[in-house]
Chain A
Amino acid sequence: MAERFESVGEVVDRLRSVDYLADANIAGVVYLADKLEKPVLVEGPAGVGKTELAKAIAAITGSRLIRLQCYEGLDEAKALYEWNYKKQLLRIQADREHESDWAEVESDIFSEQFLLTRPLLEAIRSEEPVVLLIDEVDRVEIETEALLLEVLSDFQVSIPELGTIKGTQIPIVILTSNNTRELSEALKRRCLYLHVDYPDLDREKDIVRVRVPEIDDELAEQVARVVRSIRELDLKKAPSISETIDWARTLLFLGRDEVSPEVIGETLHVLLKYQSDIVKARKELVPEDPPLKGTGFKGVAAKSGQ
């Protein structure tokens, strides 16, 4: 098995080269996933770059990204493999004239040329390097999860008519979950677990600067601080990283070089998506009356004057 990374530092550097800023936690787990050849289960709030991580890894390793989007009702015909039933029919009909032996036909129509590979099978059978992204795995029913288990632990697929198909390679597998339900123990046990949370101030600022290169340092700092301040409030949905980036872009687009209460008031809907959240944040951050000097921080001002 070709090893993809030399060290954790290298993971960080290479991810940075594709504009993905990983902290020690993310880089460490990615590195380990490669070494231990285990899938990574990434959990965290929406919009912190879980799916983005898989794309970034595919980009730096020069692999093809195969994506399996999960949804309720996903079954093995869509995740693993399916028999090409129309082609099988044609084969049988084409055979009528030759009157060949049934056993022969049977073994023929259940051979690999009648097999349609779906994302999971395709990922392990691919000749080129692959990153397999199983997105929003919490959306499938708990029974369907079991479909994934064989692939995730042994990188093989058992097909009753054909036997076990071994993988030609061990891809990097990233599973993402928004945690709408508890995943089964069996699945968790087979994965490395990575919880991605909102970044701290410095990292968020760096992310904004990398993703919105035209922004200047000062504004990026202000953006990151305001977003941190908003996340401290008790909201239905705190702003995600992608929303922070959108907001920074909006500010640039509007030609603002400074974050003032009025600007926040005008553009808050980019960051927050619930009306009650917007109202709450506006009440906290945008003073209705013209700001009075020193109010709210009177105690501070008095003390520091000593």
Chain B
Amino acid sequence: MLDVLQGFVHELRAAGLPVSMTENLDAMRAVEHVDMADRDVFKAVLGATLVKHHNHWNAFETVFDVYFSLWSPGVDGGEGSELDEAWQAMLADAAGAGAGGEMSREELAQMLLDALMTMDRDSLRQLAANAVTMFAGMEPGRPVGGTYYLYRTLRQLDLDDLGARMMGRAREQGPIGDQLGERLQQEEFDARLKELKELVEAEIRRRLVADRGIEAMARTLRKPLPEDVDFMHASRDEMIALQRAIYPLTRALAARLAQRRKRRNRGHLDFRKTVRASLSYGGVPAEPKFRNPHPSKPEIMVVADISGSVASFARFTLQFVYAMASQFSKVRSWVFIDGIDEITRFFQECEDVLDAVHRVNTEADVVWVDGHSDYGHALEVFHDRHLKEVTPKTSIILLGDARNNYHAPQAWVVGALRKRAKHVYWLNPEPRGYWDTGDSVISEYAAYCDGIYECRNLRHLEQFVTTIAEA
């Protein structure tokens, strides 16, 4: 058991979770107190000792499923026997003569439907296993990922059709009611189908682990934590996770900045408060009291490239900056591709930042000639229209990869802006190694900026916002 646990912790660390020595020891002590047969409790106990951050829970869950999907306590060596069993099932699949082989597709669909209507979890699990046997066509040693098998199984199961048939049945059983009733019923069925999908996924994973071994499987499933996901290469699911991570992150950051600001350079002496405090020391002003300082909040102008390659980066940064708006006295923003358009109005009109971002994507007028990034032209227009609005309190943030499609960079514009502004920063979503390769002209602009930052994930973004809010 301890060996398995060590491997488990090792894999968690490899996935990026900070598991300390004490936490490791706690986990070892903890598993002595619980019955491993109860998987939910076992998982809760390991999670409580090893995972100290909610964002890391998903990563933990994945590793847990891989490590303990086959591990059942019971008799000593129980591990082996169940592993063998899964292995046998797998071989049987390959031979095409599995236990579920006799069942026709329609029969399986019917049985699934029955199980889903009554939500009979045991038979659902059994049927999910059957479905994997019938449809996934798993072959031992074949080097494809679990998603491939999952896709094959789900395509054959046709969950949409199952959902529709469930709705049909529900209607036969009695009136569902109005639109609201329909909606609630539909959501209920969606939830059940999601559960079925998870069962299928777990079954596939179980068999893959049996085939390839725990460590290899854990390695293939390893995913970056939300705060380490690269903006430019995020998948759809990762985007959603990022989206969710932004708000709590900004709230935490805002609280931290507010506290730090309060403590840093205190205001001048508050005479009244000092005298009042002195009363408890017999009239001796032993404890001087100070006024709260007036925080000087910077004014922010964001100018973002939203051409295809860096669009998601710009979106996250804008969202982040607006979520932090309380930390700045004023936030204005522009987006460009080869034309430039001010988008502050969208954020003012929409209460919801996501709506605003959506309107930016659909309504902003950013194409001038051909829809390929032209930093030079966009910056020049910005300079002509808005230079006089830049004041010594303004910090300008430029977002983009500086891939200028070999147009003229017009870097002097940045110099002119900097002369009037407090600071000019540039955030580049590309890894540092790619800068100045191909059509990237970042160093021409860099010469005029106060700082150039590599900004590829939420962690980088958070660091940057801390810097400017304090500057």
Give A contacts to B, CB under 8 Å.
8, 23-29, 31-32, 35-36, 38, 40-41, 43, 72, 141, 179-182, 185, 188-189, 191-195, 201, 222, 225-226, 228-229, 232, 234, 259-261, 264, 276, 285-287, 291, 295-297, 299-301, 303-305
Instruction: Considering the complex, give the chain B residue whose CB is closest to the CB of A183.
Output: B52
**Which chain B positions have C-beta within 8 A of A24?**
38, 40-41, 44
Say yes or no for B47: interface residue by CB 8 A criterion: yes
Say yes or no for B221: interface residue by CB 8 A criterion: no
Q: How far is the CB of B333 from chain A (nearest CB, A)?
A: 21
Q: How far is the CB of B284 from chain A (nearest CB, A)?
A: 14
Instruction: Considering the complex, give the chain B residue whose CB is closest to the CB of A187.
Output: B52
**Contact present for A305 and B259 (CB under 8 Å):** no
Given A27-B41, A276-B351, verify A287-B179 contact (CB < 8 Å). yes
**Contact present for B252 and A32 (CB under 8 Å):** no
CA of A58 to CA of B270 in the docked complex: distance in angstroms? 45
**Contact present for A141 and B259 (CB under 8 Å):** yes
**Contact present for A261 and B40 (CB under 8 Å):** no
Q: How far is the CB of A224 from chain B (nearest CB, A)?
A: 10
CA of A260 to CA of B178 in the docked complex: distance in angstroms? 9
Q: How far is the CB of A256 from chain B (nearest CB, A)?
A: 14
- Given A28-B44, A193-B52, 6 more pairs with CB closer than 8 A: A25-B47, A29-B44, A179-B252, A193-B49, A225-B188, A303-B165
Instruction: Considering the complex, give the chain A residue whose CB is closest to the CB of B44.
Output: A28
Q: How far is the CB of A247 from chain B (nearest CB, A)?
A: 15
Instruction: Considering the complex, give the chain A residue whose CB is closest to the CB of B187.
Output: A229
Instruction: Considering the complex, give the chain B residue whose CB is closest to the CB of A188.
Output: B52
**Which chain B positions have C-beta within 8 A of A189?**
20, 22-23, 52
Identify B164's interface contact among A26, A41, A225, A303, CB under 8 A.
A303
**Which chain B positions have C-beta within 8 A of A226?**
180, 184
Say yes or no for B115: interface residue by CB 8 A criterion: no
Given A181-B255, A261-B179, verify A36-B351 contact (CB < 8 Å). no
**Contact present for B180 and A260 (CB under 8 Å):** yes
Partner-binding segment picked from B28-36, B305-313, B365-373: B28-36
**Which chain A positions have C-beta within 8 A of B381?**
none
25 contacts between A and B (CB under 8 A): A8-B41, A28-B41, A28-B48, A180-B255, A181-B256, A189-B22, A191-B52, A193-B51, A193-B52, A193-B53, A194-B48, A222-B184, A225-B188, A229-B183, A232-B187, A260-B178, A276-B351, A285-B183, A286-B180, A287-B178, A291-B178, A291-B179, A299-B164, A300-B163, A304-B168
**Contact present for A261 and B180 (CB under 8 Å):** yes
CA of A285 to CA of B43 in the docked complex: distance in angstroms? 37
CA of A201 to CA of B191 in the docked complex: distance in angstroms? 10
**Contact present for B187 and A25 (CB under 8 Å):** no
Given A181-B255, A193-B48, A195-B57, verify A8-B34 contact (CB < 8 Å). yes
Interface size on B, residues (CB 8 A): 53
CA of A28 to CA of B48 in the docked complex: distance in angstroms? 9
Say yes or no for B182: interface residue by CB 8 A criterion: yes
Say yes or no for B273: interface residue by CB 8 A criterion: no
CA of A96 to CA of B451 in the docked complex: distance in angstroms? 68
Identify A193's interface contact among B40, B47, B179, CB under 8 A.
B47
Say yes or no for B54: interface residue by CB 8 A criterion: yes
**Which chain A positions have C-beta within 8 A of B248?**
179
B178-219 to A contact mask, C-beta < 8 Å, 1/0? 111011101110010000000000000000000000000000
Give B contacts to A, CB under 8 Å.
18, 20, 22-23, 26, 29-30, 33-35, 38, 40-45, 47-49, 51-54, 57, 161, 163-165, 167-169, 171, 178-180, 182-184, 186-188, 191, 248, 251-252, 255-256, 259, 263, 351-352, 354
**Which chain A positions have C-beta within 8 A of B26?**
36, 38, 192
Instruction: Considering the complex, give the chain B residue whose CB is closest to the CB of A285.
Output: B180
Instruction: Considering the complex, give the chain B residue whose CB is closest to the CB of A27.
Output: B41
Q: How far is the CB of A276 from chain B (nearest CB, A)?
A: 5
Per CB-CB distance, the 6 closest pairs between chain A and chain B, nearest first, are: A304-B168, A24-B40, A28-B44, A303-B164, A28-B41, A291-B179
**Contact present for B29 and A36 (CB under 8 Å):** yes
**Contact present for B251 and A32 (CB under 8 Å):** no
**Which chain B positions have C-beta within 8 A of A191?**
52
**Which chain B positions have C-beta within 8 A of A32?**
30, 33-34, 45, 48-49
CA of A222 to CA of B183 in the docked complex: distance in angstroms? 12
**Which chain A positions have C-beta within 8 A of B51?**
193
**Which chain B positions have C-beta within 8 A of A192?**
26, 48-49
Instruction: Considering the complex, give the chain B residue whose CB is closest to the CB of A141.
Output: B259
Instruction: Considering the complex, give the chain B residue whose CB is closest to the CB of A44.
Output: B54
Q: How far is the CB of B289 from chain A (nearest CB, A)?
A: 13
Q: How far is the CB of A278 from chain B (nearest CB, A)?
A: 12
**Contact present for B354 and A234 (CB under 8 Å):** yes
**Which chain B positions have C-beta within 8 A of A43?**
54
CA of A36 to CA of B32 in the docked complex: distance in angstroms? 10
Given A225-B187, A234-B354, verify A296-B45 contact (CB < 8 Å). no
**Contact present for A295 and B179 (CB under 8 Å):** yes
**Contact present for A304 and B164 (CB under 8 Å):** yes
Instruction: Considering the complex, give the chain B residue whose CB is closest to the CB of A12.
Output: B41
CA of A229 to CA of B184 in the docked complex: distance in angstroms? 7
CA of A86 to CA of B394 in the docked complex: distance in angstroms? 53
Identify A305's interface contact among B35, B40, B161, B168, CB under 8 A.
B168
Instruction: Considering the complex, give the chain A residue whose CB is closest to the CB of B182.
Output: A297
**Which chain B positions have C-beta within 8 A of A303?**
161, 164-165, 168
**Which chain B positions have C-beta within 8 A of A234?**
352, 354
CA of A94 to CA of B380 in the docked complex: distance in angstroms? 83
Instruction: Considering the complex, give the chain A residue whose CB is closest to the CB of B20.
Output: A189
CA of A32 to CA of B179 in the docked complex: distance in angstroms? 46
Q: How far is the CB of A108 from chain B (nearest CB, A)?
A: 21
**Contact present for B40 and A25 (CB under 8 Å):** yes
Instruction: Considering the complex, give the chain B residue whose CB is closest to the CB of A304.
Output: B168
CA of A226 to CA of B185 in the docked complex: distance in angstroms? 10
**Which chain A positions have C-beta within 8 A of B41?**
8, 24, 27-28, 31
Given A304-B164, A304-B165, A304-B167, verify A28-B183 contact (CB < 8 Å). no
**Contact present for A228 and B251 (CB under 8 Å):** no
**Contact present for A29 and B187 (CB under 8 Å):** no
**Which chain A positions have C-beta within 8 A of B45?**
28-29, 32
Instruction: Considering the complex, give the chain B residue whose CB is closest to the CB of A194.
Output: B48
**Which chain A positions have C-beta within 8 A of B167?**
297, 300-301, 304
**Contact present for A28 and B54 (CB under 8 Å):** no
CA of A179 to CA of B54 in the docked complex: distance in angstroms? 10
CA of A177 to CA of B256 in the docked complex: distance in angstroms? 15
CA of A26 to CA of B44 in the docked complex: distance in angstroms? 8
Instruction: Considering the complex, give the chain B residue whose CB is closest to the CB of A202.
Output: B119
CA of A303 to CA of B22 in the docked complex: distance in angstroms? 57
Q: How far is the CB of B167 from chain A (nearest CB, A)?
A: 5
**Which chain A positions have C-beta within 8 A of B354?**
234
CA of A222 to CA of B184 in the docked complex: distance in angstroms? 8
